[in-house]
Structure 1
């Protein structure tokens, strides 16, 4: 999830312990909880140096582990207690930081990325495919909860709206799976009423609209993606589209197969759950083969996970990535 949502959730949950158990003020709880909610994404420091390996193997690994959460909370608590006002509050700091870190780990596991909750004992990624990485409705509900709890700490009942929203998402996901007859449903940006259905056995997918969402249409248009809604189909007549890491163009088939099997692309192959051929490019004497993952592909928006190999006739393949929300490429 995005950093704002993580910070809000950590700060919100930090208001729940009773004053007897945690005699810190609402402002202190807010800051410490938000820090715990943000901390696991400190692993992003590795992204600029090794972007593909980071996404494939390291991100949402040790810093997102439930098993290591007490360690990170303890280390952060020792650092924070250096502040004179917090010197005697190590136990309380540990509690709030631990809650915030756990909230981050479990929230990420609700998205489609996949979180290594049992790292370093296991590299298995847990993913509920329930929340998109940015969900304005969920973030707004958390903000309202925090506003109430900041004035009235300990009122656990105010958490019911965001929990009910997660229940609604689960129900909408089951409805999408039922309507499409697919084994996989991936949440989409802007609206809980829009889903991507994937049938990995037949390597086909479709974008499904359960019902119109005028708020999502307005938001997508304001953000510069007015054609977003047109990419989603409604009703039993929705048509599936094939996907996969191959090429129907006979002039490219050998190069696509060679690029897909290239050792430099191994981290992409290890990470991608639903890989497909994103683009074939020819720049004068250079030819490029690009791949992406359906989890990061949406109508009218540029895919965010795009890696490719380029070469000249008789030359070696070179690995590139496309920058987020851009067509600019960067050599790795």
Structure 2
């Protein structure tokens, strides 16, 4: 989830735990501010992208700052940062508890997305994911924003608990929609044993369906609410699904060996570790250089250039790893 949604969710969780009316009108806003700050803190790992984009994706993102095991340490650090504030210094135990609450509230939201979180880092680097919500979920964020607005006029705890209940119902609906999307895929590909449904932006009824094989994938974009074609035309109703094949090594036989060499290169190890559904994005051939680019189907949308595109370029002497910069067609960065 995006950082703003995390902060809003942390603030709502803090209000939900306000059992008695505060003796001061500023008490609850202060608690909510601390919890919201702590809830946003784990996304500080985004700074790692500017140090090394690939290590950020493969190792750093949603690992140490998102670890359940390291939560007490991060809460202690945030509490220390709050101590110059006299109000926090006089209530440091409560501030520590609020920081723990905010940090813990961050974890389930990121668990909802396809990227997942390394919940038990550093003991294990396994990433856990429910993959029922897109990275930015406007409906989820809107429920939180409305809940916080209603806190201004109604009993805070009752409103916050009501908002959390509505969110629970919404998430249950997402789970049911994912189940239905998988059923649609299973009906169309009855022989398949490795089917996946990934959430898409703009609507909880949009899903990316993937049938995984060792070196290729079948992909379709489904709208559970449309009979034929959705508002975003790339998403089709269940009766009109168009399955497209994507290959890891491409379809052109003369190039397969070269693409496989690039894919198996040691410098691309971290991208292989990151990508769940890797495919060949494209091959660029210049007069004295060949570049072979890969991407991950988890982060491809049918109407946008993929965000994460990494590859190897060969200049007749050696292979070098590069990435294509986001929002560009061909601008690349050496790593």
The answer, yes or no, to whether TM exceeds 0.5 is yes
Structure 1 residue 121: Cα displacement: 1.0
Gaps of 5+ in 1: 218-228
Structure 1 residue 18: Cα displacement: 2.5
Structure 1 runs of 4+ with >4 Å offset? 19-24
TM-score of the aligned structures, taking structure 2 as reference length? 0.89
Q: 2:221 aligns with which of 198, 207, 212?
A: 207
Question: Is the contact between residue 42 and residue 103 of structure 2 (CA under 8 Å) also seen in structure 1?
Answer: yes
Question: Is the contact between residue 292 and residue 307 of structure 1 (CA under 8 Å) also seen in structure 2?
Answer: yes
Q: CA-to-partner distance for each residue in 1:233-283, whole Å, 9 max, x for gaps?
A: 222342322223112123422220110000010001111111011111123
Q: Equivalences for 1:118-137 in 2 at 5 Å?
A: 118-137=120-139
After TM superposition, the structure 1 stretch with the greater mean CA deviation from structure 2, 242-251 or 6-15, is 242-251
TM-score of the aligned structures, taking structure 1 as reference length? 0.90
- Distance of 1:280 and 1:77 partners within structure 2: 50
Q: 1:83 to 1:207 in 2, by over 3 A?
A: same
Q: 1:30 to 1:325 in 2, by over 3 A?
A: farther
Question: Is the contact between residue 226 and residue 237 of structure 2 (CA under 8 Å) also seen in structure 1?
Answer: no
Question: Is the contact between residue 143 and residue 163 of structure 2 (CA under 8 Å) also seen in structure 1?
Answer: no
Q: Equivalences for 1:213-224 in 2 at 5 Å?
A: 217=231
Structure 1 residue 45: Cα displacement: 2.0
After TM superposition, the structure 1 stretch with the greater mean CA deviation from structure 2, 179-188 or 124-133, is 179-188
After TM superposition, the structure 1 stretch with the greater mean CA deviation from structure 2, 66-75 or 118-127, is 66-75
SS in 2 for 1:203: strand
Corresponding residue for residue 237 of structure 2: 234
Corresponding residue for residue 184 of structure 1: 196
Q: 2:164 aligns with which of 141, 149, 159?
A: 159
Q: 1:309 to 1:22 in 2, by over 3 A?
A: farther
Corresponding residue for residue 99 of structure 2: 97
Gaps of 5+ in 2: 187-193
Structure 1 residue 159: Cα displacement: 1.7
Equivalent pairs counted in the alignment come to 318
Question: Is the contact between residue 281 and residue 295 of structure 2 (CA under 8 Å) also seen in structure 1?
Answer: yes
- Distance of 1:19 and 1:78 partners within structure 2: 26
Structure 1 residue 212: Cα displacement: 4.0
